[in-house]
Amino acid sequence: MKRRDFVKGAIAATAAVGFSGCTREMIEGKKSVHINRRKKVKLKLATSWPANFPIMGTGVDRFAEKVKAMSGGSLEIKIYPKNILVPALAVFDATSSGQIDAFHSGPYYWKGKNPAFALFSGLPLGMVASELSCWMNYGGGYDLWRELYGKYNLHPFVGGNTGVQMGGWFRKPIDSLEDLKGLKMRIPGLGGEVMARLGVNPILLPAGEIYTSLERGTIDATEWVGPALDIRMGFYKVARYYYTGWHEPGSILELTFNKARFDALSDEHKAVIEYAAEAMTTEMYHEFMDENAKALEKLKELNVQIRDFPPEIVEAAKKALQEVVKEQSAESADFERVFASMETYYRRIKPWTDISEAKYLSIR
């Protein structure tokens, strides 16, 4: 026998003897011991939504479940609905300071800290959900967002998209620009600033006060999201005129982490969060589409009048938007830079959108 063959045989025999003394349970036991020794990480995430809030709230719950499953249980994210750990609109500051590890909300709520933040939710009469996703990933949107949020010790991800939102519920029909004069309407963000230039008095109200305010006539109109969530709010009972939208064509929701806490995570856990966030964004958008379609049928059965704003209002809104952007850009270099990035990408992607999806939708 050659020495090389002898050595191979000896190694094989040794391995056989070694494994013959190990049962399957012992081998699996060793594996489980190894897994259990992995450092487990637990994070606290607060949302701006009530417990079990449809689509947005339940979407975050599923995100946490995916993170736990994808990490083999080594990363757990505990979800806290609004007002459990911190108030709904205090999540930004609480995460920035490290009081909590992450939050789920909407970027336009923080425009008081930096006007540019509102743009990361989207722009009135601007890009739709698919275009905004492309801008984020391939047009520099993420780089700008993380740079500006980094100054607040935050690291954001896109955490959902509502798709095109409806223009709102009105107690009386809107047939002309004159009908908007002095109208009290619950509407936030840049859309509210545009409407203000059309004569509307924008009012900010928490979700729990909107229906009562509309019922009592404290406000004359409100926008919320779309049929899926609006029908649950019962707006159709006190405002029969439901208008199609332009102010939020693809509103981004955010999943934002304390930057120091996120940076300290392992590469594995960072990757798990990234891909679970992408899955949540896709699922949430699809769920909004499906639920909106079903709710729309119910609204038609309830004889809700679904209308378009008159062309003169849409044209006036376009002009007002230009004024708002010009003023905000003059006041904030960050706003000017983010808007310039969005506008550059919009001009790049619009020709393709126009000859692909827009053209198809116009003829199908």
As a whole number of angstroms, the distance between CA 313 and CA 57 comes to 34
User: Is the distance from CB of 48 to CB of 82 less than 8 angstroms?
Assistant: yes
Among left, alpha and beta (phi > 0; psi -120 to 50; other), residue 237 is: alpha
Backbone phi and psi for residue 258, each to the nearest 5 degrees, phi listed first: -60, 125
User: Is the distance from CB of 130 to CB of 116 less than 8 angstroms?
Assistant: no
One-letter amino acid of 231 = I
User: Is the distance from CB of 148 to CB of 334 less than 8 angstroms?
Assistant: yes
As a whole number of angstroms, the distance between CA 38 and CA 163 comes to 40
**Site of tokens 């959108």:** 353
- Walk me through the domains of the chain, giving residue ranges and CATH numbers: 40-161+250-290 (3.40.190.170)
Q: Give the single-character DSSP code of 351.
A: H
Backbone phi and psi for residue 127, each to the nearest 5 degrees, phi listed first: -70, 145
Among residues 185, 178, 183, which one has the least CA distance to residue 213?
185
Instruction: For residue 87, count CB atoms less than 10 angstroms from its CB and return exposed for 0-12, middle for 13-18, buried for 19 or more.
Output: middle
Instruction: For residue 283, count CB atoms less than 10 angstroms from its CB and return exposed for 0-12, middle for 13-18, buried for 19 or more.
Output: middle
As a whole number of angstroms, the distance between CA 254 and CA 296 comes to 26
User: Cβ of 154: how many Cβ atoms within 10 Å?
Assistant: 23
Among left, alpha and beta (phi > 0; psi -120 to 50; other), residue 196 is: alpha
Kindly give the confidence (pLDDT) of every residue in the chain, 364 residues in length, as a single tens digit, with 9 standing for 90 and above.
Answer: 444 443 444 434 444 434 334 444 443 444 433 333 368 999 999 999 999 999 999 999 999 999 999 999 999 999 999 999 999 999 999 999 999 999 999 999 999 999 999 999 999 999 999 999 999 999 999 999 999 999 999 999 999 999 999 999 999 999 999 999 999 999 988 999 999 999 999 998 877 799 999 999 999 999 999 999 999 999 999 999 999 999 999 999 999 999 999 999 999 999 999 999 999 999 999 999 999 999 999 999 999 999 999 999 999 999 999 999 999 999 999 999 999 999 999 999 999 999 999 999 999 9
